[in-house]
Amino acid sequence: MRHILINLFLIIILSVLVYMGLDAVGLLPVGASAQAETIDWLFNIELIAIAFLFSLIVVPTAYSLVVFRRKKGEEGEGEHFSGNTKLEIIWTAIPLLAVVVLAYMGAWSLGDALRVDPQAMVVEVTAFQWAWKFDYPDYGITTNELYLPVDKQVELKMESPDVIHSFWVPEFRIKQDVVPGQVNILRLTPIELGAYTVRCSELCGISHSYMNAPVVVVTEEDFQAWVEQKKAEIPDTVGPDANRGELIVEQNGCFACHSVDGSIIVGPSWSGLYGSDVELADGTVVTADDAFLKESIMDPNAKIVAGYPANAMPSYSLSDEEIADIIEFIKTLQ
Ligand code: CUA
């Protein structure tokens, strides 16, 4: 009995110390969404359980090694036991109860994190190799940064035209794969103002690790101001327009692979590209004119530039006007 009491005492002390240690390390970044609250609550309970189970194993093991070791002058073997019905009932019933309670808490938290607000703002998310595009159908704007008003649920309708990506903002805790051929929904309610980053958490090709986009949570007022500013940025000129071209390039994530300053990221730089002579993988030399640029956007594998891999770029289906805008933009990069 004395040994059991000492063990219980040590288990409680060690559990508290381990939990305090894990808590002090700060395993999670700030919880910035309403969904994070329930998930962090569950995570905290897991930490307590981990601290307790760790102590439950380590304390009796260490205690037995020290207290029940063979002392000087002791001979022979220890006493043998076999079977203890009472103990077996206890160590079956307690884990069973624990599993049932954990399952209930998990289901409750999942329900809480998936709760639907009919007033939610819709944002259409396109994840593609290797960038993010955000369409706000209510406002008619498209961007590469996800601006969200605080304390308002947003419904992200996510699609991918190429491979599987995954939307993950650690501060929001929740995560959703984006799968080609279907629309996946993720609902979240930002509750902390601030700047975060959405990362792609599904290995999706050569620039997967650079597939980040800013996520900014602002007040409702600042959000409306941002919407107005974005609307004003769209040039309403007729004919090819370099500014509009730059916007289209930004929205389609071209800068993830093509630089405008001569540096090589994944594909050739656009700096000084227009009108220059380009050597192809098969040794021929072509001029980078309108026709070549258009073909390279619509059908990137038609002509592979020497030194670059084939099949690295997905083909884009843009309108003739949009392509003219992009070429107009590339022309300015001399
Ligand atoms: Cu997209 Cu990884």
Identify the residue whose tokens are 């406002």. Answer: 139
pTM over 0.95: no
DSSP state at residue 183: P
Atom 1 of ligand 1, residue of closest alpha carbon: 165
pLDDT of res. 205 = 86
Decide if 59 contacts 6 (C-beta within 8 A): no
Report yes or no: 286 and 277 within 8 Å, Cβ to Cβ.
yes
Alpha helices by DSSP H, listed for the chain, are: 2-25, 34-67, 85-113, 220-233, 242-251, 290-298, 320-331
Q: What is the model's pLDDT at position 193?
A: 93
Residues 6+ apart with CB under 8 A from 49: 98
Region at 312 (left for phi over 0; alpha for psi -120 to 50; beta for the rest): alpha
Residue 211 burial (CB count, 10 A): 23
Q: What tens digit of pLDDT does each residue of 141-179 get?
A: 888 899 999 999 999 999 998 899 999 999 999 999 999
Binding-site residues, ligand 1, Cβ < 6 A: 127, 130, 165, 200, 202-204, 208, 211
Measure the CA dihedral 106/109/114/120, to 10°: -170
- The contacts found for 293-296 with CB under 8 angstroms, 24 or more apart, are 293/323, 293/326, 293/327, 293/330, 294/323, 294/327
Strand-pair category, 146-149 with 154-159: unpaired
DSSP SS3 for 307: coil
> Residue 211 CA: which ligand 1 atom is closest?
1
**211 C-alpha vs ligand 1 centroid, how far in Å?**
6
Q: Report residues of the chain scoring pLDDT below 50.
A: none
**How far out from the chain centre does Cα 92 lie?**
39
Give the atom of ligand 1 at the shortest distance from the alpha carbon of 178: 1
